[in-house]
Amino acid sequence: MNPTSESRRELDSTVINIELTLASIIQGVALFFLTDNARVVMSERHWSTLLYLAAGLCVIFIFWSRSIIHTLTLIRWPLEFGHNFFYIACALGEAILFSRLDSPLAWFQLSAAYAGVVWLLFIYDMRMIRARIIESSNDAERALYTRAKADQLLNIWVLVPLLFLLNLGCAFAIWSCPDLFIARPGHIWLISIQLASFVGYLIYVGRYFHAIAPLFVRTREAR
C-alpha cells in the first residue's frame, strides 16, 4: 500500500470527523435555543407559535441533513476554514431566529437574512466542488461530483433564491399590512406557506441523498 495514499486517507478521515462533529454540535446548540424559546412562548399559551416551532425544527433538519450529505460527499483534506466559519455563522443566525417565535415580522425578516447567508454558503462551496472534480481519478468520483455540482447549482440559482424571496415577501406583506397579518391572524397563512416550503425542501434533500447513495458507495469501492 502506498504510504502517501494511506496518510492522505487518514487526514481525510480526520477532517471528516471534525466536520461531522462541528455540524452536530452547532445544530445541538441551535436546538437548545429553539427549545428554550419554545418553552417560554408555550407557557404563555401562544398556540399559533406551534407553526413557527415546527418551521424552526425544519430549519435544523435541513441544515443538519445538508451538512451531513456535504461532508460525506465532498469533505477532504485540507480543512476548509471558510466553509466551517459559514457553518458557525449559520448557527448564530438560527439562534437569533429562534428567539423570535412570537414576532412574525422579525421571524420573516431574520428568515430572509438567514436564507441570504445560506445562499452565500452554497456559492462559496462551489470552489470545493470544482476542486473535487479536478481531483477525481475515476468514473465513479466524476459521476458523484457532477451530480453534486448539479445539485449545488440548482440551489444557487433556484431553490435558495426562492426561499429568500418567499421570506422577504412575507416580511413585506406583514410590514405593509399589519392590520391583516398581525391584528388578525393572517400571519398563520404565511408561516404555513413557509413550513410547507421547508417540508418540500426536506423531501427534495431525501430524494437527492437516495439518488447519490449508490454513487457514494461506488466511489468508496473504487478507491
Q: Identify the weakest region by mean pLDDT among 60-64, 68-72, 138-142, 190-194.
A: 138-142
Q: pLDDT tens for residues 45-80? A: 667 789 999 999 999 999 999 999 999 999 988 888
Q: Domain limits of the chain?
A: 3-222
CA 223 to CA 210: how far, in whole Å? 21
Sign of the alpha-carbon torsion through 151, 8, 222, 22: negative
Q: pLDDT tens for residues 115-128? A: 999 999 999 999 99
- pTM for the full predicted model: 0.93
Length of the chain: 223
pLDDT of 3: 59
| pLDDT higher than threshold 90 for residue 44 | no
| pLDDT higher than threshold 60 for residue 4 | no
pLDDT of 217: 87
DSSP assignment string, 72-139: HHH--SSP-HHHHHHHHHHHHHHHHHGGGTT-HHHHHHHHHHHHHHHHHHHHHHHHHHHHHHHH--SH
